[in-house]
Amino acid sequence: MASQQHIVTSFEDDLQGLSRSIADMGGRAEQIVERAIIALLRSDTSLAHEVIEADKKVDALHRQIEERAVLVIARRQPLAQDLRETIAAIRIANDLERIGDLGKNIAKRAVAIKNEAFPPKVRVGVEHLAELGLRQVKKVLDAYAARDVDGARDVCAQDEEIDAVYTSLFRELLTYMMEDPRNITMCIHLLFCAKNIERIGDHATNIAETIFYLITGEQWGEPRQSSTRVDE
């Protein structure tokens, strides 16, 4: 009996360890995106390089979580809720790794256009899009920590707002390129940054769908095509 209790406690420790690692990885990925946007808007190349370097830790955590989750499945053979917890950790870690990569890509663009002055309207558009993307990441991490299915639903419902702002900013940047060919290089870099932010929102939505699966055991709608890598 004592041996069974030890096994159960050890299994719970494994699952809690996965959750803690996801929380750590999520916080780091969120910080990468936030600092990348600051580096972009302030033309801060030093900060941009710090962001690029920080992504290595997110990648390392991703590998550790996947390896730990595979060991949990192999050793514990989890069922039902426990199996969903383990599978969810793998899925969420994958999306967080992509969020970190997209933040890193924004930092690289910040270095490339460090001496460019953004038109005020474009700056406002980038700031607004970034605020929405970061809001989604924060909300979905909070939903995971609290196992909050309503919070996950909210993230899914708000994805269209990011898409609409991205489309508006895309048109604005095209206008600047057509008005003056000298703006083309800067605007192309900003278009990639905007697309990366929009993709960050998509990955936050993917995480929300995984949380819905984790809590309910059901899939949210049709599977999303989240494996496409942008700007690499």
Residue 222: per-residue pLDDT: 52
Residue pair 14/76 in contact by the 8 Å Cβ criterion:
yes
Average pLDDT value over all residues in the chain: 90
| Banded model confidence at residue 13, pLDDT cuts 50, 70, 90 | confident
Name the domain count of the chain: 1
Asked if residue 89 belongs to a domain, the reply is yes
Residue 76: per-residue pLDDT: 80
| Banded model confidence at residue 118, pLDDT cuts 50, 70, 90 | confident
Residue 115: per-residue pLDDT: 81
Q: What DSSP designation does 230 have?
A: -
Q: Which residues form the domain of 68?
A: 2-216
| Banded model confidence at residue 4, pLDDT cuts 50, 70, 90 | very low
pLDDT digits (tens, 9 = 90+) for 165-217: 999 999 999 999 999 888 899 999 999 999 999 999 999 999 999 999 999 98
Asked if residue 92 belongs to a domain, the reply is yes
Asked if residue 169 belongs to a domain, the reply is yes
pLDDT higher than 60, residue 5: no
Residue 119: per-residue pLDDT: 86
Residue pair 140/92 in contact by the 8 Å Cβ criterion:
no
Asked if residue 124 belongs to a domain, the reply is yes
| CATH value at residue 202 | 1.20.58.220
Asked if residue 229 belongs to a domain, the reply is no
> Taking the chain, what is the end-to-end CA distance rounded to the nearest angstrom?
54
Asked if residue 108 belongs to a domain, the reply is yes
pLDDT digits (tens, 9 = 90+) for 15-55: 899 999 999 999 999 999 999 999 999 999 999 999 999 99
Residue 227: per-residue pLDDT: 43
As a whole number, mean pLDDT of residues 149-156 equals 96
Residue pair 98/226 in contact by the 8 Å Cβ criterion:
yes
Nearest to 103 by CA among 68, 139, 59, 164: 59
Residue 8: per-residue pLDDT: 55
**Residue 48 tokens, joined:** 């941009």
SS (H, E, C) the chain: CHHHHHHHHHHHHHHHHHHHHHHHHHHHHHHHHHHHHHHHHHCCHHHHHHHHHHHHHHHHHHHHHHHHHHHHHHHHCCCHHHHHHHHHHHHHHHHHHHHHHHHHHHHHHHHHCCCCCCCHHHHHHHHHHHHHHHHHHHHHHHHHHHCCHHHHHHHHHCHHHHHHHHHHHHHHHHHHHHHCHHHHHHHHHHHHHHHHHHHHHHHHHHHHHHHHHHHHCCCCCCCCCCCCCCCC
What is the pTM assigned to this prediction? 0.89
Asked if residue 231 belongs to a domain, the reply is no
Query: CA separation (Å) from 103 to 17, 156, 164?
Result: 26, 21, 20
Asked if residue 225 belongs to a domain, the reply is no
As a whole number, mean pLDDT of residues 63-84 equals 90
pLDDT higher than 60, residue 74: yes
